[in-house]
Structures are given as structure tokens and as C-alpha cells.
Chains A and B, each alone.
Chain A
Amino acid sequence: MSVSSTSDCGRSGARSVAVWDPLVRLIHWGLALTIVLNGAVVDEESALHEWVGYVALGLIGVRLTWGLFGSRHARLSAFPPNPAAALRHLVALSRGDTTVHLSHNPLGALMVYNIWATVLFLGATGYMMGTMQFFGVDWVEEAHEIAFNWLLVSIVLHIGGVLFDSWWTGVPLVRSMIDGRKRVPRDRSVE
């Protein structure tokens, strides 16, 4: 038996890599909280609804700033929006590829940008509703509604994708968004 083959793993047979820094995690759960609050708890007509919306915008603003020069896997350049790569990822999946991505996988990356864009759009239309110019304008309110429904669909797909990828690659992803570490099974290749 070679000693080195068992050296860096403890008992689990997986190696653990720090990927999501604390700022990414705080922003993620903060954003999730604002969406749940504004979608299900807070009265839509209230001032609180607006404030929670501003906080959501602020969280995304901070995240995008952090994405410019932050930690390695949090940088936007680590998961550029690339539909062609997402398509290739799907094809690879259908062939049984179980490569682990330390940042977001190409498909997940598209979803991340989609969620951010949708929340920003919700914020913009929400703000417009409160201005003199657009107060009571139908298409603004409808756009806000449609964007919210789209966000709900996106989040369902997002959570579904996370659960699928955890099962497919064997990396407990939800845990990685809690303690920041991806535990990669030893026989997986990593990107």
C-alpha cells in the first residue's frame, strides 16, 4: 500500500476545496431571503416591500463589484456567460461526463446571470412604479409581474439544477454554499 494515495483525504476519500468565500455566501442567502420576503411575506403595497427590493439590488451590486476583483472562484471571469459552453456542457452530460467545476458550471453560470438580471429588472420596474412618470402605468406593472413569475421559474430550475448536479457529480453543493467548501470525490476530474 502506498502512503501517499491516502494522505490528503482523511477518511472520506474526497478532497475538500475552499470555493465560495464568506462574502459570496452571505450575499447568496441574503438575496434568497429578500426574494422570499418580497414574494411571500411582505405586503406588496408597503414601503417595506420597496426597501427590501433596494437591499436585493444592493446585494447584487456588491456581488458584481466583488466579481470584478474578488476571490478566485467568485470572479465573473471564472464563469463567463457562454451559451455555447452551456450547450457543450449539456452534450457532455448526456455522454456521462462527471467533471466537477469548482466555480459554477457553464449551465449554472447562465442561470446565475439570468437570476441577477431578473432581480435587477424587477428592481427597475419596481422603482418606476413609484415615480410620477410611470405611476399607474399598466405595462410597467405587468412587466414587474411577469418578471417575478419568471424569477420563480428560474429559482425552481436553479434549485433543481443544484440538486441534480449534487447527485450527478457527488459533490454536496448545498453544503458548499453553507461552509464554502466543495468536497470532490477522488475519482472526478476537476475544472
Chain B
Amino acid sequence: MIARYFPAMKRERRAITLAAIILLQALCAIFFVGDVIFDLSHGDHLDDLHLILEAVAALALCAGVIYLMRELRDLLNRMAAMELGIRAARGEMADLIDAFFDQWRLTPSEREIALMVLKGIDNDSIAKMRGTAQGTVRAQCTRIYAKAQVDGRPQLLSIFMEELLNVGEG
């Protein structure tokens, strides 16, 4: 299953399941509370054992619903915080890339191509997207690699991978 590899998706699904359970349990709780009130108003008394049990069950259901609602809210808050973190990390990655590009003094068109290279787009597609000849793209790539002092695509990528993996080791 794909969800196993994507924690975010798994959490999303847990939230949906939790919400469905909350809703069903809440409707049950309302039913039992209504039933107890109905019985009370039709002459039954709280000293009847059956009614006492029913009332306790109704209260327990209500408490469960409130508790699960708090769980769901906390889960949703955690999901929102994580999304924010990922967005921040993306922003930092973008800043990092910008900083390297500045350092290598890439021209604006070289920056565009270098970004496409980082995204894994092949020369053929880059040429098509930019409406230029393949030879032009190849020449520009060679200049980018030279400015970055790397041998080619994999090494260019590894510069950024290294930065990411070194986080925490200073």
C-alpha cells in the first residue's frame, strides 16, 4: 500500500476514520440520552437499576465523544504544524539553491536551466520547453557544470543532497 510510505497520507486517513467514529458514536450518545430523558418523563425513576445503567452508558458515550473530539483536534493540529514545517523546509531549500546559483554567478537563463536539471528534466525536454535547439541546452549545461565545478548532472544534484544530509552535523 502506498500510504505506508507517505506518513501524511496515513495521518489524513486516520483523521477521517476518527471523524467517522466520532460522528457515529455521537449519534448513538444522543439516542441514549434521548431514551433516558424519555423514560424519566414517562414515569420511570432513577432508582430503577435498568435506567441507572442506561444513564451511565449514555454519559460514558458523551464523555467518549468529547475525548475523541479532542484527540481529533490534536491530530489535526499536528498535521497542520507538520505541513508548515515542510513548507518552511521547502522555502529554505529554495533559498539554498538561490544562494548557490548566486555564488556560481549563473546568468538568468542558466538559472532556469539549472533548476530544471535539479528537478530531473532531461535535456531533450528542456530544449522543447524553452523552444531552443538541443545543442544550445547541452552547451549551457556544460557552462553550468563548469561554473559549479562538477562533472555533470549527478554531481550537481549531490551538492544539494549533501547540504540537506549534513543538517544537524553542523
- Which residues of A approach B to under 8 Å, CB–CB? 1-4, 7-8, 18, 21-23, 25-27, 30, 54-55, 57-59, 61-62, 65-66, 69-72
Contacts and interface: CB of A to CB of B under 8 A. Distances in A.
B135 to A, nearest CB: 22
Interface residues of B, number: 36
A75 B91 CA distance: 29
B99 to A, nearest CB: 10
Contacts of A69: 69-70, 73
Given A69-B70, A71-B77, A72-B80, A3 B27 contact: no
Listed from nearest, the 9 A-B pairs whose CB atoms lie closest are A22-B19, A7-B94, A23-B19, A4-B94, A22-B16, A3-B94, A62-B26, A58-B30, A71-B76
Contacts of A54: 30-31, 34
Given A22-B15, A26-B20, A3 B101 contact: yes
Nearest to B23: A26
B27 A58 contact: yes
Interface of A is mostly: helix
A21 B27 contact: no
B128 interface: no
Contacts of B76: 21, 71
Best-surrounded residue of A7, A22, A59 (most CB of chain B within 10 A): A22
23 contacts: A1-B111, A1-B115, A3-B97, A3-B115, A4-B91, A4-B95, A4-B98, A7-B93, A18-B79, A21-B72, A21-B76, A22-B15, A27-B23, A30-B23, A54-B30, A54-B34, A62-B26, A62-B27, A65-B26, A66-B69, A70-B72, A71-B73, A71-B77
Contacts of A27: 23
B39 interface: no
Contacts of B31: 54
Contacts of B101: 3
